[in-house]
Structure 1
Amino acid sequence: MTTAADHLTGAGAGAAASVPAPVGTTEVLDVDEFGGRVERTELPGGLRVLTETMPGVLSATLGIWVGVGSRDESPAVGGSSHFLEHLLFKGTRSRTALEIATAMDAVGGEMNAFTAKEHTCYYANVLASDLPLAVTLLGDLVTDALNTAPDLESERTVVLEEIAMRDDEPSDAVHDLYAETLFGDTPLGRSVLGTVESIEALTRDDVDGWYRERYAVPSIVVSAAGRVDHQQVLELVTAAFGDRLSGSARPDPLRLGEDVVLTEPARPTGLIHRRTEQTHLLLGSLGMGRLDERRYAAAVLDAAVGGGMSSRLFQEVREKRGLVYSVGSSLTHYAGTGSFSVYAGCSPKRVPEVLRLVRDELAAVAADGLTAEEVARGRGQLKGGLVLGLEDTGSRMSRLGKSELSYGEYLPVREVLARLDAVDEGQVRAVAADLLSRRMCLAVVGPYRDRDLDKLLA
């Protein structure tokens, strides 16, 4: 019987035990005082493998990340990345969809996937002893999917239902509307889901061609966290990817974001007219790219302005006046650009007052910055949230994958905490003066007409 302890020593790996040790360049990125260890290997063909050993757990989470998302699509094939994410679960040359689902259910594991603007991730959470199964199944999906025409037709309906579900939920629809308003007809402005028109027009050749072209080894990162052993993961991955791990190809270069260059919102307002009981709105501006060194100060600013129950927006709009149930701010970073936004949901008659209060608070922070107490509280909120958010294997796996794909480097948690500790009031004031004084746009889902939005924005 194979146990988690066997896998930590490299024994009991089943078929992968006979696979020759992979040849690659391995580096230790971090070792902590509890025995945790972060390692990275670049295998032949450009595949990157990162692991984080967490001695105190009995589970493991595996992720296979592909550096492709809706940002890489043209309007004609909008939604291809997300459609493909669905389609890969429909079966491979060696396994049917039912066999894939049955194998994972039989060990009590969870397997799923998600698509974002700049990447796609397939993941599985299992007992450590079942890590070989997770690598085998996910590796099979990513490298050997069939993408048949009948499967595409059945899944097309599912994706269209997902779009309809998004449209029926105003708090979801307003976020896609905001991206379209802010970024316009650019890859970042288009929905990850695509449109009804683009999904209905996609052919099997479109989606399978996207798979053959984009799911290349140099664009892929494998990350695993939990009770894992780096060498064992390498052996399992080598078996799963087979002869694709050959040649002199290097990993794809870091995405820099040269495809979206904007200096102000694409348009001032966006509206979805709907007779809702509550108006959903997003007010925001262009932000900073993910590699901007000011992002730590911006994060502290965001936390203090609208990141929690003690934030200015929550206190002024909800606690003191009771105008909303939900209000808060958000920072989003992409390659080369980003967004700062404030969301609120309220009765239509209260929208003018809510917008006035939000804009007054943002203007005050832009002019005067934050108090020392607010900066300290923002730092503490971010530090506590970061550490508490990394208590499970899934979040650790995700951090490894995103670090490699989005930043091209791994920063130990203590280094991130140190950078947050270094943020002072002057840095926050400078970021606020820049970020909160930029031209803003407004996205609204509610019972309004186009002519009403100019008044609201003014």
Structure 2
Amino acid sequence: MSIQITTLDSGLRVASEFMPNIETVALGVWFDVGTRNELPKQNGIAHLLEHMLFKGTSRRTALQISEEIENVGGHTNAYTSRDLTAYYARVMHQDTELAIDLLADLIQNSTFDATELEREKQVIIQEINLSRDTPDDIIFDYMQMAAYGNQPLGMSILGKPEVIAKISGADLKKYAGIHYCAPKTVIAVAGRVDHAQLLDWVKKYFGQLSPVSDAPIPPSVYKPENILINKDSEQAHLSLALPACGGKDPDYYAYSIYATLLGGGSSSRLFQEVREKRGLAYTVSAFLSNVDDTGLLGIYVGTAPGEVAKLAEVLREQLVDSSRNIKKAELDRAKQQLKAGMLMALEQPFSRAENTAQHLLTFGRVLSVAELIEKIDNVTPADIHRIVGKMISAKPALAGIGPKKSMKVWEKFELT
């Protein structure tokens, strides 16, 4: 299997990967835009726009959008992240043109009907309220906010109800016109697809994207603070963040490996120390959250309020110890977890298309599996010691939800 990539005169990139042993295609349109491209006064507009594109176009009603794709047994969906927005479909290979036509219609011809918009705003406001009532969900928004404050990367993807309520159809159309432009877009397809035919369809249906991209991406700087919410509950939900790196940084693979060995599975340091040996929590994890130019190493734990002090000490011990003591066995295990996870994901057509699109938007090319494996294998214990030493020299950003007494304990957490 090889990937074919063509850049059209508009700057739109079209990529396809032929997979001979399947009868379907996974295809999507990825835009290099997300929450970090918003201003505070429009926070949530990227996510609202994603919802509204399925609510009717000048050619199709919302019902017709659903019926046309489901009439052929396919499905569509979309997602918004901090730095990407994607619209995608899965269909039988003979229905590829229909899927491309449908996605192009959503993206270029949505009408933003006023009645549909008001109804969808209420849906999203309910989604926001549900998230706020779910501590093990909203804690991650608080962690981002604690790390970046009022900067775009500190804002919620869902937005704020009072901001969402004021967004108009004209606002959505203007935002799409600025950010949904050809040079910031990749159309990627994996499955039983012919690249030449795909190009003909893309040229036929995607002719309205602007060839101009002049919206700069605002930088975000790590500015740690504490966001602690007093809430009477049986669990204290705790998260901390430390400055990591962006996806383009050569140290990205070292940070990814470290997040895995620290809290990426049941054999990880935190799972073993926090849950298995001491019984301090049911849930504990570490993860890397990054965009192209910056990132965070995050830790999440849900624990009994009375165990916060003990838990904080274990976290401190493990973070400090891993700055100077990484065993070869745990490093090798984390590498294998990353490599296996990557290879397993790439057995799925959608994952292959998504991987292609994300690489083109980040690196301008698709990194081969062999290259990725080499980058992972080249990470040494000294690399881990170096990046962890750098991280723990910074002040952590803390987020917490739980009884007042437990929050007072958590706010005193320090690494030095």
TM-score by length of 2: 0.95
Alpha-carbon spacing, 1:347–1:106, altered in 2? closer, same or farther (3 Å)? same
Q: 1:454 aligns with which of 408, 411, 415?
A: 411
Q: Secondary structure at the match of 1:90?
A: coil
TM superposition shift of 1:298: 1.6
Report if the CA contact (8 A) 1:72-1:187 is conserved.
yes
Counterpart check, 1:402 vs 2:355:
no
Counterpart check, 1:199 vs 2:164:
yes
Q: 1:164 aligns with which of 123, 129, 134?
A: 129
Match for residue 261 of structure 1? 221
Aligned runs of 1:284-295 on 2, under 5 Å? Answer: 284-295=241-252
| Whole-angstrom CA distance in 1 between matches of 2:17 and 2:327 | 38
Report if the CA contact (8 A) 1:115-1:121 is conserved.
yes
Counterpart check, 1:282 vs 2:239:
yes
Amino acid at match of 1:427: D
TM superposition shift of 1:53: 1.5
Amino acid at match of 2:262: V
| Whole-angstrom CA distance in 1 between matches of 2:409 and 2:325 | 32
| Whole-angstrom CA distance in 2 between matches of 1:243 and 1:161 | 34
Match for residue 60 of structure 2? 95
Alpha-carbon spacing, 1:129–1:402, altered in 2? closer, same or farther (3 Å)? same
Amino acid at match of 1:309: S
Which string of whole-angstrom CA distances, capped at 9 and with x for unpartnered residues, describes residues 81-124 of structure 1? 10010011011111111001001111221201111111210011
Q: 2:342 aligns with which of 355, 374, 386?
A: 386
Identity of paired residues, percent? 36
Q: Secondary structure at the match of 1:56?
A: coil
| Whole-angstrom CA distance in 2 between matches of 1:171 and 1:117 | 19
Q: 2:264 aligns with which of 307, 317, 325?
A: 307
Which string of whole-angstrom CA distances, capped at 9 and with x for unpartnered residues, describes residues 370-410 of structure 1? 11111111111111111012111111111011111123221
Amino acid at match of 1:189: G
Superposed CA RMSD = 1.9
Counterpart check, 1:415 vs 2:375:
no
Report if the CA contact (8 A) 1:48-1:251 is conserved.
no
Match for residue 24 of structure 1? none
| Whole-angstrom CA distance in 1 between matches of 2:107 and 2:163 | 24
Alpha-carbon spacing, 1:46–1:250, altered in 2? closer, same or farther (3 Å)? farther
Q: Secondary structure at the match of 2:28?
A: strand
Q: Secondary structure at the match of 1:185?
A: coil
Match for residue 112 of structure 1? 77
| Whole-angstrom CA distance in 1 between matches of 2:208 and 2:56 | 21
Amino acid at match of 1:302: A
Q: 2:297 aligns with which of 336, 340, 353?
A: 340
Report if the CA contact (8 A) 1:287-1:337 is conserved.
yes
Amino acid at match of 2:370: R
Match for residue 190 of structure 1? 155
Alpha-carbon spacing, 1:371–1:336, altered in 2? closer, same or farther (3 Å)? same
Amino acid at match of 1:121: A
Counterpart check, 1:220 vs 2:185:
yes
Amino acid at match of 2:314: L
Q: Secondary structure at the match of 1:228?
A: coil
| Whole-angstrom CA distance in 2 between matches of 1:252 and 1:60 | 33
TM superposition shift of 1:219: 2.0
TM superposition shift of 1:157: 0.7
Report if the CA contact (8 A) 2:182-2:212 is conserved.
no
Match for residue 326 of structure 1? 283
Q: 2:388 aligns with which of 428, 432, 438?
A: 432
Match for residue 354 of structure 1? 311
| Whole-angstrom CA distance in 2 between matches of 1:457 and 1:130 | 57
Q: Secondary structure at the match of 2:411?
A: helix
Match for residue 376 of structure 1? 332
Report if the CA contact (8 A) 1:274-1:445 is conserved.
yes
Amino acid at match of 1:384: A
Amino acid at match of 1:399: N
TM superposition shift of 1:258: 5.3
Counterpart check, 1:78 vs 2:43:
yes
Moved more, 277-286 or 191-200: 277-286
Count of aligned positions: 414
- Gaps in structure 1 of 5+ consecutive residues: 1-35
Match for residue 127 of structure 1? 92
TM superposition shift of 1:41: 0.5
| Whole-angstrom CA distance in 2 between matches of 1:211 and 1:427 | 42
Report if the CA contact (8 A) 2:320-2:392 is conserved.
yes
Alpha-carbon spacing, 1:187–1:53, altered in 2? closer, same or farther (3 Å)? same
TM superposition shift of 1:61: 0.8
| Whole-angstrom CA distance in 2 between matches of 1:243 and 1:113 | 20
Report if the CA contact (8 A) 1:219-1:252 is conserved.
no
Counterpart check, 1:153 vs 2:118:
yes
Match for residue 322 of structure 2? 365
Amino acid at match of 1:414: A
Report if the CA contact (8 A) 1:45-1:218 is conserved.
yes
Alpha-carbon spacing, 1:252–1:74, altered in 2? closer, same or farther (3 Å)? closer
Q: Secondary structure at the match of 1:259?
A: coil
Which string of whole-angstrom CA distances, capped at 9 and with x for unpartnered residues, describes residues 131-186 of structure 1? 11111111110111111222211111111111112112111100001100110010
Report if the CA contact (8 A) 2:245-2:293 is conserved.
yes
TM superposition shift of 1:243: 5.7
Report if the CA contact (8 A) 2:181-2:213 is conserved.
no
Match for residue 18 of structure 1? none
TM superposition shift of 1:60: 1.0
